[in-house]
Amino acid sequence: MLSSGFIQHTIDLVFGLVGLFIVSRVIRKTQINQVSPFDFISSIVLGELLGNAVYDEKVKIWSILYSFILWTILMLLIELITQKFRKSRKVFEGEPAIIIRNGQFDYQVMKREKLDINELQSMLRQKDVFTVREVEYGILEQNGALSIIKKPKYDKPTLEDMNLPTKSVNLPTNLILDGEVLKDNLKAIGFDEDWLIKQLHKYGMQRIEDVFYAEWKKDEGIHVVPRNKM
């Protein structure tokens, strides 16, 4: 059986994981740019464990080894949960946020993501965009990066330069992820599961579980990626 010291150490480490996770989710995404929340947490915890091993003589090597093993198990468990249960990904990994929609700022989303206009303009300039009038959609990714879709007339080469008519910009909508239907997205575009299944039949797939990824665009229709067979 584990000694009381190891039991207390386990409790401390588990609560440390929860606490650091909460902190990483509360602070702005842009402060951990290009790093996922759990990469951020792992860096802090592993750095602290290493620091204790080097500078604290009271901390024994077996305690540090146990901590590394326990931390690895916790990380693997979280990875397993996010792979098995799609809904858990929103909790552990977050989700993209559309902060510019149809060329307009979504102030409620910006407020929720704790992103001000100066930060957004800086992120746009890093994408070689110096005016928001060029942007049709702006998406803040889980890792804090900004992805943009430019308006057609500002694309390279521009349609205006080629004397071609402009066309509307349509954002792709995810319909299936890892064999699970995103019912809210399907409803939002005005279709139901019967329609979706008929579309899958055109790709030679009989079951939704056989689909790894499917998306829909208004101007291009549905795109389906089958799940690899083992």
> Which residues of 97-134 form beta strands (DSSP E)?
97-101, 104-105
pLDDT of residue 67 exceeding 90: no
Task: Summarize pLDDT for 175-212 with one digit per residue, the tens.
Answer: 998 888 999 999 999 999 999 999 999 888 888 888 88
Q: Which two tokens stand for residue 193?
A: 């599961």
Domain residue extents for the chain: 4-93, 97-154, 173-226
pLDDT for res 230? 39
Q: Taking residues 54-76, report their average pLDDT.
A: 69
Q: Which two tokens stand for residue 223?
A: 């795109």
Cβ atoms 224, 200 nearer than 8 A:
yes
pLDDT for res 69? 75
Strand partners for 177:
180, 213
Rounded to the nearest 10°, the torsion over CA 130, 141, 223, 201 is: -160
pLDDT of residue 65 exceeding 60: yes
pLDDT of residue 229 exceeding 70: no
What fold characterizes domain 97-154?
A: CRO Repressor (3.30.240)
186-200: b or e for each residue (b if 16 or more CB lie within 10 Å)?
A: beeeebeeeebeebb
* Residue type (1 letter), 38: F
Please tell me which residue, 36 or 202, carries the higher pLDDT value.
Answer: 202
pLDDT for res 38? 64
pLDDT for res 35? 60
What's this model's pTM, rounded to 2 decimal places?
A: 0.59
Domains 97-154 and 173-226 share a fold: yes
Tell me the C-alpha to C-alpha distance, in Å, between residue 24 and each of 7, 30, 73, 133, 204: 26, 11, 20, 32, 43
Query: Considering only the top CATH level, what class is 173-226?
Result: alpha beta
Instruction: Give dist(CA 75, CA 38) in Å, integer.
Output: 8
Classify residue 101 as exposed, middle or buried by CB count within 10 Å of its CB (0-12, 13-18, 19+).
middle
Dihedral sign for Cα 28, 31, 34, 35, please. Answer: negative
pLDDT for res 164? 72
Task: Name the average pLDDT for the chain.
Answer: 78
**219: DSSP letter:** T
- Return the residue matching tokens 């996922």: 36
Instruction: Give dist(CA 159, CA 193) in Å, integer.
Output: 37
Task: Summarize pLDDT for 96-154 with one digit per residue, the tens.
Answer: 899 999 888 888 888 888 888 888 889 999 998 888 888 999 999 877 889 999 998 88
Cβ atoms 49, 67 nearer than 8 A:
yes
